[in-house]
Amino acid sequence: MAGDQQAPRWLLDQLRPLLTSRRPAVVVDPRQLVDVELLGVHGEIVAVTDWWELRRVYEQRAREPEPDSSLVVLVHDSECRTGRDLPYDIERASTVIVLRIPVDEPYHRLVIDLPPAMADHAVDLLRGPSPDPLNALLQALYGITLRADPASELDAVTRLRNDPRVPPSLWELLRPRLRHPLAVALANDPPDFSGLQQAWADWLDRGDDSPTAALFQQFGARIAPLFAAGILRPAPRRAAGLPSWSDIGAGELEPAVVAAELLAAEPVPTPPTSAAEWIQTATWWGAVRAAVAGAAPAPPQLVEQARCRWQVLDDAFQPWLRANYGSLLLTASTRPLTLDKVAPFLARRLRERGRRQLLVVVDGMGFAQWAAIQEVAELEVVEAGGCFAMLPTLTSVSRQAIFAGQLPRAFASSLWTTGQEPVRWTAFWEHEGVAAGAVRYLRLDGRAAADVPSLGNAQVVGMVVSAVDELLHSAVVFGDTQVADMVKFWARHGFLRSLVEQATSEGFEVWITADHGNIETEASVRVTEGLAVESAGMRVRLYANQTLRDASRAAGVVWEPLPGYPPGEQAPLFAPGRAGFHGTGTRVTHGGLSLDEVIVPLVQIRR
């Protein structure tokens, strides 16, 4: 539990005797479930790692304690597991607490790995009677019921793969329960999607003669998120009589057909109720948006259907975001849910796996552009997911949070500039124990394969690629359609493909994300307020203070206080819906609160 911003109830309950103890206390913690910071509220904390340290601290500090002193000795010794393992005199003279994980041993690692609230829920379930504890956990924590048939197994594994709250220890429990080889392969670490890709291609080629025909017929359109995420790639379809939903993963189809089938295969539940479900929906919507843009000129009925679907989603997303964003910023998770936690996530990967880390931040890339890139870049997706950006969704706010590994309120002094990103990136990694000389920060256009830089001997590289953002802001005539064409043109020039190929060959894990997404806006009335406005963006206007903002003649959305945002900073006014603070034309821009702007890809890729 070290480093968490909160602790689970099951652990705090065991520490409760410290609140009333009048004697020196000894906390026996061989699995290091608790750290000094959490115990600090109970008095002076001294951590020891062996018998001799314990004896020395006790003789010097606890045998004759000073009046009103409150000493807690935290014993992190793997050979000390019970009170009886302590020296007899120390055990008799102290308040002794032995920390235990209050569930059966096979579930110990899972309870440790889960975020606090989920861990408490798991403990409550595992303490109660259940003929199938694992299935009870899957249902309660992730809304999944595992049944003994191939389609159910495949559905469960694919849904769990899209949930950033799933820790590696859950896969260790789940794998022995799986029977179908495709589900087992997806449950491995790292997951292996090659068998599923081959099976899909075989079914599209042979139809009912394929050995997995019954599996795909039963699984149905639930496979759509795997194509939207880029985990599976379309294949040629030669068999006759396949269901229409198979268009989602059939190569060489018209984008309008793909868009129509994606719209018919919307992820469930609708509307989403959790961060994981919203990330999956954002992935799906990005694929829809990319397909509609690629169909230009798209049939008006298709465009209208997509816009109506977006409106329903946005109407649900806005209140959900207001109700949950603050707690989301504080949530511990296996994979990061917010961009400020990407760097700590990579630090954990570096510690646990020992592989060099490359983070590629493609400025302004939403899921629609990521779908377009995947279509032509020939990249293999290892893990697919998403993250919530910082608010407002502006480069200096959200991208700086990525490289600082902190919320915007922690870097208020440089909130409106990106100039401190290299310093903050290096400082973060030095705090993690990586020497400054082994950390690199690069910023480049990334226009062609020839622009791929040498990564040298660095252990960690953070790279900003600005090409997509430049294309977004130049799309002033045809909006999404123009962006989709230009992004594909950029991807074909091979910068990203060559970068990933070089980095993979040099032993890097490669992660790609963005600082914010984007949205195609419709012109609203331009409001000119002179010196009252510090920054007149197309999706967010910044005022010197709340008084000026509240007196504004612009129609917009106020969110006060804005979670994670520095108090006393410029006051934002967000454009509603698809509106933009520009008087004419169509723009593809960012800064606001839409699903398209707030949730961005976080994907591990390789070549």
* pLDDT on residue 531: 47
Q: What is the pLDDT of residue 2?
A: 37
The values of phi and psi at residue 264, to 5°, are -85, -10
pLDDT of residue 587: 86
Q: Return the pLDDT at 67.
A: 60
3 pLDDT more than 70? no
Q: What does the DSSP assignment read for 174-208?
A: HGGG--SHHHHHHTSSS---HHHHHHHHHHHHHGG
The 10s digit of each residue's pLDDT in 250-276 is 987 899 999 999 999 888 778 899 999
Spatial separation of the C-alpha atoms in residues 356 and 90, rounded to whole Å: 46
CB 279 within 8 A of CB 599: yes
pLDDT tier at 69, thresholds 50, 70, 90: low
d(CA 117, CA 97): 23
6-32 mean pLDDT: 88
Q: What is the pLDDT of residue 528?
A: 59
User: Span 55-62, mean pLDDT?
Assistant: 86
Quote the mean pLDDT of the chain. 90
Distance (Å, whole) CA 102 – CA 168: 20
Helix (H, G, I), strand (E, B) or coil at 360: strand
* Per-residue model confidence as pLDDT tens digits over 330-378: 988 889 999 999 999 999 999 999 999 999 999 999 999 999 999 999 8
Model confidence at 532: pLDDT above 60: no
Amino acid at 67: P
pLDDT at position 333 is 84
Instruction: Flag whether pLDDT at 525 surpasses 60.
Output: no
pLDDT tens column, 185-242? 999 988 999 999 999 999 999 999 999 999 999 998 888 888 888 899 999 999 999 9
Measured CA to CA, the distance from residue 599 to residue 486 in angstroms comes to 22
Q: 10: number of CA atoms within 13 Å, CB side? A: 24
pLDDT(553) > 90: no
Q: Is 112 helix (H, G, I), strand (E, B) or coil?
A: helix
What are the structure tokens assigned to 19, written together? Answer: 């609140």
**Encoded tokens for 385:** 């997911």
pLDDT of 562 > 70? The answer is: yes
Q: Give pLDDT tens digits for 91-109.
A: 998 899 999 999 999 999 9
Model pLDDT, residue 487: 94
* Residue 438 near residue 458 (C-beta atoms within 8 A): yes
Is pLDDT of 588 > 50? yes
Domains of the chain: 9-100 (no CATH), 105-192 (no CATH), 336-607 (3.40.720)
Q: Tell me the sheet residues that pair with 543.
A: 533, 571
Q: Six-digit token pair at 108?
A: 């110990």
pLDDT for position 278: 95
Q: What is the DSSP track for 130-173?
A: -S-HHHHHHHHHHS----SSHHHHHHHHHHHHT-TT--HHHHHH
The backbone torsions φ and ψ at residue 392, rounded to the nearest 5 degrees and listed phi first, read -70, 155
- Cα 254 from Cα 260, distance rounded (Å): 10
Q: Which residue has the tokens 């962006």?
A: 483
Identify the band that residue 5 occupies on the pLDDT scale cut at 50, 70 and 90: very low
Per-residue pLDDT tens digits for 443-472: 999 988 889 999 999 999 999 999 999 998
| Amino acid at site 45 | I
pLDDT in tens, 131-153: 999 999 999 999 999 998 999 99
Could you tell me the CA-to-CA distances from 328 to 38, 333, 345, 514 in Å, in that order? 21, 10, 16, 18
Extract the tokens encoding 160. Answer: 């769990």
d(CA 252, CA 335): 34
Confidence class for position 522, pLDDT limits 50, 70, 90: confident
Taking the model in full, what pTM does it have? Answer: 0.87
